Structure 1
């Protein structure tokens, strides 16, 4: 029996929304509420995040994907549309490798199919050092605010505070494991490019975590590509209604609604 905790609402075509690093499934609650009129929306806590315990053998995104596939089988989540934010996008690509055509469609939300370059790997290593020295609370308090451009942080202070509170539900072992897994993940561009299902990518022009230059290199590999102007790494907060309509429109087109 899977130990993955999840939030679910609605009926119909399954839509799985996967959260990112320092996030939990609850981050998608507004999206799930809005989409549940048309779809069965399921928002899991990744293992080691929120209410989902971390597996003892969890060292790679591939291992996380195996756990998610088992969870989907147990909960009759068949032929899902899977959309992942940031780390959730990396997990989505790992699921694609594992499940292939069992996925109806996929979406990357402020995410990338490219592996980390050496500069990014160095940053991951420094993150691990910081986490081991200072712990979860101090890390997430410094990590979350820069995900939104500085000039907009006052406007979204309440949302930032909520995101920090949710991030504090992460476990230290989970954050370290996911940092290593992101650092060591394989390049997934060809996997994305070769998938015959429909594919969505949403990018932010001011995203400091996934540079817009890298996002634009995905245009040829996806079915639908959207840029959110003046948006950082949290489009579901900074431009919630626009982001929601993009996701809704994608799911409707994929489902033939």
Structure 2
């Protein structure tokens, strides 16, 4: 099992924001401050990341979901809205499969219900090899910048450097385990289709990690589908004010 570290702000309807790969819960700080006037915003570190421990060699999406369900029970988090960025979206769908109507609504933020392609699986394997050989710091320094569109990297340099520093708070064991969990995750398109609560999807026009054409295939099975123009994989940074208001509007409607 793992011990989940988190921070929370505000009261009322629980809203869980789940970070992506090479990210920590603190990435949501500005979102938690902006949304805490309306919601109880809760931001966990996934196992092996930030201040959350990982007491096992490997992880699956299903195991992460079980760990988070227990964490919710321990902290009286009932009927939450759960929104996940990238890897956090994969975790959100695993939670939806596990918990069903115990979740009030879900959202995928630059994420997908589809499994990895064979090409992507091979890329994950190369990531594991690189991590084992070079460690966390060298990996995140090369991994994080391409998540942002090339034409905005100079403008967003401060935000990119902060993202790299936060990524360094991931453990080597955690990054390797999460890489393998992403590689081995199953297709959850049917889970998303069958989820009974409201469903949000935010896609980036320039997202290199989750291509727009893949995101469009979810359009007919979610309640609210939004494309961010001139935006890569990090809409919460690239279009912070806009995406905060998208989440506020979705969650208030819920």
Are the counterparts in 1 of residues 3 and 54 from structure 2 also a CA contact under 8 Å? Answer: no
Query: What residue number does 1:108 align with?
Result: 108
Question: TM-score w.r.t. structure 2 length?
Answer: 0.99
- 2 CA distance for matches of 1:39 and 1:134? 41
Are the counterparts in 1 of residues 57 and 177 from structure 2 also a CA contact under 8 Å? Answer: no
Query: What residue number does 2:27 align with?
Result: 27
Query: What residue number does 2:216 align with?
Result: 216
How many angstroms does 1:55 deviate by? 2.8
Query: Does residue 64 in structure 1 map to residue 61 in structure 2?
Result: no
Query: What residue number does 1:178 align with?
Result: 178
Deviation string, structure 1 residues 143-172 (Cα, Å, up to 9, x no partner): 000000111001000000000000000000
Are the counterparts in 2 of residues 58 and 64 from structure 1 also a CA contact under 8 Å? Answer: no
- 1 CA distance for matches of 2:60 and 2:158? 33
- 2 CA distance for matches of 1:181 and 1:197? 26
- 1 CA distance for matches of 2:230 and 2:130? 30
- 1 CA distance for matches of 2:227 and 2:220? 14
Are the counterparts in 2 of residues 124 and 183 from structure 1 also a CA contact under 8 Å? Answer: yes
Are the counterparts in 2 of residues 100 and 195 from structure 1 also a CA contact under 8 Å? Answer: yes
- 2 CA distance for matches of 1:152 and 1:216? 24
Structure 2's unaligned 5+ residue stretches are none
Query: Does residue 7 in structure 1 map to residue 1 in structure 2?
Result: no
- 2 CA distance for matches of 1:27 and 1:204? 18
Query: What residue number does 2:248 align with?
Result: 248
1:1-257 aligned at under 5 Å gives the runs 3-56=3-56, 58-254=58-254
Are the counterparts in 2 of residues 83 and 92 from structure 1 also a CA contact under 8 Å? Answer: yes
Are the counterparts in 1 of residues 2 and 55 from structure 2 also a CA contact under 8 Å? Answer: no
Are the counterparts in 1 of residues 22 and 140 from structure 2 also a CA contact under 8 Å? Answer: yes
Are the counterparts in 1 of residues 2 and 47 from structure 2 also a CA contact under 8 Å? Answer: no
- 1 CA distance for matches of 2:2 and 2:165? 26
Deviation string, structure 1 residues 205-234 (Cα, Å, up to 9, x no partner): 100000000000000110000000010000
Are the counterparts in 1 of residues 8 and 40 from structure 2 also a CA contact under 8 Å? Answer: yes
Q: What is the DSSP-based 3-state SS (H/G/I as helix, E as strand, rest coil) of the residue aligned with 2:135?
A: helix
- 2 CA distance for matches of 1:7 and 1:58? 25
Are the counterparts in 1 of residues 13 and 39 from structure 2 also a CA contact under 8 Å? Answer: yes
Q: What is the DSSP-based 3-state SS (H/G/I as helix, E as strand, rest coil) of the residue aligned with 2:83?
A: strand
Which stretches of structure 1, 4 residues or more, deviate above 2 A after TM superposition?
A: none
Aligned length: 254
Deviation string, structure 1 residues 14-33 (Cα, Å, up to 9, x no partner): 00000000000000000000
Deviation string, structure 1 residues 53-94 (Cα, Å, up to 9, x no partner): 013164201101101000000000000000000000000001
